Amino acid sequence: MTVLAFLDYASVFVFALTGALVASRAQLDLVGFVFMASLTAVGGGTLRDIILNRDTVFWVAQPSYIGVACLAALLVFFTAHLLESRYRTIVWLDACALAIAVPAGVAVAVAMGQPPSIVVIMGIITGCFGGLMRDVVCNEVPLVLKQGELYVTCALLGGVAASLAHYFGLPQPLALSICAGSAFALRAGSIAFGWHLPVYRAFPPQQK
């Protein structure tokens, strides 16, 4: 299995766990779990493949990705009651999935010979849009847009780090590890320690 396929499988699995957990919060049935798990798992990568006009969307070429998402949904359906807080589990699993999906998006764009700006954007799309679709469909506040948290910023950092590593000629596995590590570290710091960038505040406060 290539590095690229491994990253895709891993991000599909972890994103699927978060989708299934959101389904558990919406009290869906098992098919609803599978639906939300699959949407979350392949949403970002599908958008990446469509925008890059790849010949075949990754999971159409290899339907076993959907099988992996189904497994994750089953796992959550029968074990989610063991969790103390599903919401915190979603947030942390989502952080892991983000950190895996960004290098997956980056690697595809690099393999297609895209310029650095598109490489970074494909990392962001692959990392952020699966979770965004999950949250929009289930009417949760999108994690992507939560005030005072870093999310897109983490994907951006990972993408930039990967582009720099690539530019300086580092071998691909190292470059992708740096990408995943920096994205996860920043996201984890934001969740655990409240790291954030200054947010916009209306001034004067009564401004509409």
Q: Which two tokens stand for residue 155?
A: 């994907």
Task: Give the torsion sign (CA, 188, 189, 190, 192).
Answer: positive
Q: CB under 8 A: which stretch of 97-105, 130-138, 163-171, 181-189 binds a second copy? A: 130-138
Least distance to a second copy, CB of residue 189, Å: 15
**Element (DSSP H or E) covering residue 101:** helix 86-111
Q: Which two tokens stand for residue 83?
A: 């969790």
Q: Which two tokens stand for residue 138?
A: 């289930």
At which residue do the structure tokens 């159409």 appear? 60
Comparing CA positions, the residue from 42, 41, 108 lying closest to residue 75 is 41
With CB under 8 A as the contact rule, the residue among 5, 71, 75, 137 that binds a second copy is 137
> Is 113 one of the binding residues for a second copy (CB under 8 A)?
no
> Is 117 one of the binding residues for a second copy (CB under 8 A)?
yes
The binding site for a second copy (CB under 8 A) comprises: 23-24, 26-36, 46, 50-53, 55-57, 60, 63, 66-67, 77, 80-81, 83-87, 114-115, 117-118, 121, 124, 128, 132, 136-139, 141-142, 144-145, 147-148, 150, 152-153, 156, 196-203, 207-208
